[in-house]
Amino acid sequence: MKKILLLPLIGLSTAIYAQMKYPETRKVEQIDVYHGVQVSDPYRWLEDDRSPETEKWVKAQNALTQKHLDQIPFRTSFLKRLQEVYNYPKYSAPTEKGGWNYFYKNDGLQNQYVLYRQKGETVEKVLDPNTLSKDGTTGLAQFVLNKAGSYAAYALTHGGSDWQTVYLMDMKNLQTMGDTLKWVKVSGLAWEGDGFYYSRYPQPEGSALAAVNENHQVWYHRLGTSQDQDILIYENKEEPRRFHYLYTSEDEDLAFLSISDRGKGLKGNALYYKRKGEKNFSPIIAEVGNSSYSVVYSEGDELIIQTNDQAPNDKLLSYNLQSKAWKEMVPERKEPMVSVSTAGRKLFVAYLKDVTTRVERLNLQGQLEEVVQLPGVGTAGGFQGKKTDEEVFYYFTSFTNPSTTYIYNLKTGKSTRYRKPEVKFDPEAFVTEQVFYVSKDGTKVPMFITYKKGTPKNGKNPTLLYGYGGFNVTLQPAFSAMLIPFLEEGGVYAQANIRGGGEYGESWHEQGTKLKKQNVYDDFIAAAEYLIQNKFCDNEHLALRGASNGGLLVGAVVNQRPDLAKVAIPEVGVMDMLRFHKFTIGWNWVADYGSADNPEEFKAIYAYSPMHNIREGVNYPATLITTADHDDRVVPAHSFKYAATLQEKAGKSSKNPLLIRVETQSGHGSSNTQKMLELTADIYGFIFYHTGVQPFTK
């Protein structure tokens, strides 16, 4: 049982917060007019990430935040325990090429995963990103072998940026070649013959962090040549805000070009193909619309395509390149089809049943051969191999089961455990339950709740409610060693599967988009109220956390219900909903959010935009905003302007601190293990401190 902090300490802390002096933030006269509505943007200058004034402001904010975090006595204890539980060997599921099994491994606390390959008893280190930068922030984003396994194209990222630089490796001697490709983004690496396709942007003008990314191009690079000799395969200058993504078939005979136009609010894609040696693409689906199409298997002229065309939960169709004939193979069902993979000329179709994975093995005619017997109820993935494979790897995980690799035998249908991680915790000490609660409009919403067995339901447990609610992203059960210290100290972790995600297919996603986005916030508020009503916590012991679109979620909810929780952790959030589409690839999010350029959508967006709905004279939760200086997906200006507005309008009325933590040499996610551990320790320490619970007591 954890002790509640004595009231004198809480009272003393409250007095300190009330007197907290925030750094002064200069205001400018900036008025924008949206469809007749005047909107002030006094902190517009914080959008300039290269400005000395912005740099000075960030340093002042970080100093204040660090001073506050330093007074939390058990923050270092959380960091120590996080380092202990995270310090175990972690492996990816292997993939086979050229007689070698390739896999990623982290010995425990390495900043980056290392790529290895194994043949029999021989194990070779292929690439160790930890040796590529002094601070361990250079990461390996992609590593793609050609059909023979003789060459590999690999992409590195630096400091957490989404920009990638691509290099080549000769797999005979594991030596990096001289080829270097820059300004790669939103790209695969698709081999064909003695080269590969990739997507890039022209070199941006001005800030590479915030500049709008336009004119996405597909190029072909031939081994041993310089980038200026690459062949331009496809671009569309008339539609500069489209994505052009190319992938090839297993035999490299076919190249498929997917074209999306989310900046116009369209959720689907067009699909084209060309054969090896051809220059021009032929249409399969000629126009971009709201239906998605993806080739999951090809054999000669026959394709198998996964689509949500007139099937919100997805279905499989066959398509013949010669006859242009379509045929339904696997119809839509009540459970959403979340992935389709292939191995040994079999299809492995994964469905979601109340947010947990079910996998079926089908033949190439779409007929069921077997329901794969998974190790338990949780999340499974993988099942990806070559047409000649007789075995395939997959992984299985749940909240209390570390990700474990299995081998599935296609002849016998049996699964054998291949590699299980050894984590320093007792899974039997914790329990996960799935509950269903009712949202404001009567919709039933699922939520997972994980806690230590014996935790009393007295309303006094530090409870962390996490959500996302957007872009068709599904939050499935998955193990994270980072949660163990929080749970060990009496914390409750709740993961709400709110609308906007893909938990129940495209209809669930659509109910949380554009003019219906308020459903997402209502679902999250209802999740919090469920936890309070069922005595997991009360308002003084609840923390709300979300990242990216989830940061927007937290920011919007605390504006609407500042009384709901004691702590708010909006991470790398989209906080200025009127200008998000003016930075990097933010225009891509219009398909989910809508745009301030549209009168009706502006009205809806403006009503919940976190930065624009902060109220004066309100007691906001203890807030720790997080962002990073290399986040070129959700640029840090979102969090900068939100923090400045929050401190200005609520700094005097809030009894709780309103702080921002800006990480350096990091991006939309932590750029290395140490930064991730430190951030998590700060968040846990902040939550326990402000919910008034003393951890690490006997």
Catalytic residues: 548, 668
Angle 201-203-206 from CA coordinates, rounded to 5°: 125
Backbone angles phi, psi at 291, to 5 degrees: -105, 140
Residue 214: exposure state from Cβ atoms within 10 A (0-12, 13-18, ≥19): middle
CB 573 within 8 A of CB 635: no
Of 350, 383, 419, 450, give the one whose Cα is nearest residue 91: 419
Residue with tokens 């390959």: 117
3-state DSSP call for residue 607?
A: helix
Which of 505, 540, 139, 152 has the alpha carbon at shortest distance from 335? 505
Strands of 313-429 (E only): list them. 315-320, 326-330, 337-343, 346-353, 356-362, 368-371, 379-382, 391-398, 401-409, 415-419
Tokens of 295: 């080739």
In the three-class reduction of DSSP (H, G, I as helix; E, B as strand; rest coil), residue 49 is classed as: coil
In whole angstroms, give the CA distance from residue 540 to residue 431: 24
- Signed CA dihedral, 454, 458, 461, 463: sign only: positive
Instruction: Judge whether 686 and 649 are in contact, CB under 8 Å.
Output: no
Structure tokens at 328: 């339904």
Q: How far apart are CA 381 and CA 491, in angstroms?
A: 29
Contacts of 591 (CB under 8 A, 6+ apart): 262, 263, 264, 265, 266, 267, 513
Phi, psi of 525, deg, nearest 5 = -60, -40
DSSP state of 564: S
User: Is the Cα torsion angle 673, 678, 682, 687 positive or negative in sign?
Assistant: positive
Q: What phi-psi label fits residue 46: left (phi over 0), alpha (psi between -120 and 50 degrees) or beta?
A: alpha
The candidate with the shortest Cα–Cα distance to 257, out of 240, 267, 243, 268, is 243
Query: Starting at the edge strand that comes first in sequence, how are the strands of the sheet with 326-330 ordered?
Result: 293-299, 302-307, 315-320, 326-330
**Strand pairing class (138-145; 151-158):** antiparallel
Determine the 3-state secondary structure of 424 from DSSP: coil
Spatial CA neighbour of 443 closest among 512, 345, 342: 512
How far does the chain reach from its first CA to its final CA, in angstroms? 8
Say which amino acid occupies 377.
V
List CB contacts of 287: < 8 A, sequence separation 6 or more: 270
The upper half-sphere exposure of residue 373, i.e. CA atoms within 13 Å in the direction of its Cβ, equals 7
Strand pairing partners for 200? 184, 217
Residue whose C-alpha is closest to residue 452's, from 466, 462, 465, 467:
462
Query: Per the structure block, which two tokens stand in for 538?
Result: 């009360």
β-bridge partners, 169: 152, 176
State the chain's maximal CA–CA distance in angstroms. 80
The encoded tokens of residue 254 equal: 């076919």
User: Containing H/E element for 85?
Assistant: helix 75-86
